Structure 1
Amino acid sequence: MRLAETWAWLSTSPLFALTVTVGLYWAADKLWERSGRKPLLTPLLVAAGVIGGPLVLLGIDYDTYAAGAGVLTFLLGPATVALALPLYHQAARVKESALMVLGVVIVGSVFSILSGYWLTIWLGGSEELGLSMAPKSSTTPIAIALVESLGGWAPVAVLFVVVAGMAGAVFGPWILTVARITDARARGLAMGVASHGVGTSRAFQEGETQGAFSGLAMGLTGLTMSLVIPLLVP
């Protein structure tokens, strides 16, 4: 009886959810390093895919897990603010590349919105589905606000945001390499515009310049999408 009570307390403890999440990510990171950093074994992708197994096997409700791991969600705010530090270190290069940054952000944002909305409509998807996919390259809070104002489905929009982030982190560097894009600034901008925070974390693994420009692109893309998306979709 005491064992059952102990497990009931432990499974609902924030420490349990935190330990499982950090532990799985640490193991996924070690696996990624030993594999030679293969794209399909990106730590975030592996950890996100594996975390569901223990929750199902142990009978832990997702809401209970999410509440326990809430401290990690809270830390996303300070982590985003901390992106200003490497950006400050790259201030001189950002000033030199101001026109390139603005051009990439504007073109990338417009293309992402148009491809998300109109491609969905062209393939026979509903209006609501197209609206939900339009802001896929912005961060989750911005995507939710935009979709709700346009009349789409917020949960579906979150799914598309996650998929865009994961796809960019896994395949983005490989695609840029195949395209022979070697400039650190260009690689960072592409990752930030296409795959927001997840892509930015992947860009930092390549270098500080890539990460700084990716973080800058992520923020500017969210702002740009908020301004232009009402003009590009009904």
Structure 2
Amino acid sequence: MITAWGAFYLLWTILCYFIAKKFFMRTQKIYFSPIIIVPIFSIALILIMHHQFQDYYHYTQYLVAMLGPITVAFAIPVFRYRKMIRQYFKVLILSSGMAMLVGIFSSWALATMFDFEEIVKNSLLARSISIPFALILTEKVGGSISLIPLFTVITGLVGMLFGDLILLWMRFKNRISYGTAFGNGAHAMGIARARQRHELEGVIASLSMIISGIIMVLFAPIIVAMIKIWF
């Protein structure tokens, strides 16, 4: 049941999103991206109101519930760009598969090195895919429904902010490679940055994110179980 605070926080989140989106579309500046502005404004409001994050999450759970239909909607671009998928099938599958393995093993190794708790370690495993896929993976790997979105957003934000510098440092110019890098490394935020750079990069990034998410959901639980047995 929506209370007065619930309605307020729900409208606040939606309003912040549209304002940030308007500024982002007008300026094309990364720091006006909704994924950055909305959390900052929301955290500031929670602190001012002396509320807890759990309260905000409870009031805005209706937005979180939309992630299920959004996950199903990912099938639309897959169908729309099926010709491009066939054309770059090997690149998309190989890059997405390698990104999954690197993401899982690097997260597990670093979490083990710093002796993180089991639930934190499990939550880090899904950080390199978009939130809808990550939430599906949560139950399968024993992660936290609160931590996985946080780690996912941080990963995407870092990839979006520093992706250009890394690709520039590599001195390898190929829009297909750039698109797969942004899609696999920074998921939704990487797609936003890739689209700013070039239309082809944006399309490839979108397909890479979807394919990596599907691969992660299907095979990550098996790989994680094997890692836990071996190590």
Pairwise TM-score range, normalised by the shorter structure: 0.7 to 0.9
Give the counterpart of 1:229 among 203, 224, 229. 224
Give the counterpart of 1:217 among 208, 211, 214. 208
> What fraction of aligned residue pairs are identical, expressed as a percent?
23
Report the structure number with the largest CA radius of gyration. 1
- Per the TM alignment, residue 55 of structure 1 is displaced from its structure 2 partner at its CA by 2.7
- Per the TM alignment, residue 95 of structure 1 is displaced from its structure 2 partner at its CA by 0.2
Gaps of 5+ in 2: none
Distance 1:153-1:202 versus aligned 2 partners, 3 A rule: same
- Per the TM alignment, residue 113 of structure 1 is displaced from its structure 2 partner at its CA by 1.2
Distance 1:197-1:60 versus aligned 2 partners, 3 A rule: same
Residues 46 and 52 of structure 2 are in contact (CA less than 8 Å); yes or no, is this contact kept in structure 1? yes
Q: Distance in 1 between matches of 2:56 and 2:122?
A: 30
Give the counterpart of 2:103 among 109, 112, 120. 112
- Per the TM alignment, residue 20 of structure 1 is displaced from its structure 2 partner at its CA by 0.8
Letter in 2 for 1:226: P
Q: Distance in 1 between matches of 2:207 and 2:35?
A: 21
Gaps of 5+ in 1: 1-8
- Per the TM alignment, residue 22 of structure 1 is displaced from its structure 2 partner at its CA by 1.8
Give the counterpart of 1:24 among 4, 12, 16. 16
Q: Deviations over 1:72-130 (max 9, x none)?
A: 223333333333333323211110111111110111111111111113334x3246254
Aligned to 1:11: 5
Letter in 2 for 1:97: Y
Aligned to 2:44: 53
Letter in 2 for 1:91: R
- Per the TM alignment, residue 201 of structure 1 is displaced from its structure 2 partner at its CA by 4.9
- Per the TM alignment, residue 54 of structure 1 is displaced from its structure 2 partner at its CA by 1.7
Aligned to 1:3: none
Q: Secondary structure at the match of 1:116?
A: helix
Q: Deviations over 1:3-52 (max 9, x none)?
A: xxxxxx63232xx2232112212232344355542x34432112112211
Distance 1:180-1:87 versus aligned 2 partners, 3 A rule: farther
Q: Distance in 2 between matches of 1:130 and 1:191?
A: 24
- Shift >6 Å, 4+ stretches: none
The 5 A counterparts of 1:146-161 are: 146-148=140-142, 155-161=146-152
Q: Secondary structure at the match of 1:51?
A: helix
Q: Distance in 2 between matches of 1:80 and 1:204?
A: 20
Aligned to 1:90: 81
Q: Distance in 2 between matches of 1:92 and 1:204?
A: 19
- Per the TM alignment, residue 154 of structure 1 is displaced from its structure 2 partner at its CA by 5.8
Q: Deviations over 1:143-165 (max 9, x none)?
A: 422431xxx66644443223212
Aligned to 1:125: 115
Give the counterpart of 1:144 among 138, 148, 155. 138
Residues 90 and 209 of structure 1 are in contact (CA less than 8 Å); yes or no, is this contact kept in structure 2? no
Residues 83 and 215 of structure 1 are in contact (CA less than 8 Å); yes or no, is this contact kept in structure 2? no
Aligned to 1:43: 34
Aligned to 1:5: none
Letter in 2 for 1:29: K
Q: Distance in 1 between matches of 2:69 and 2:78?
A: 15
Letter in 1 for 2:76: L
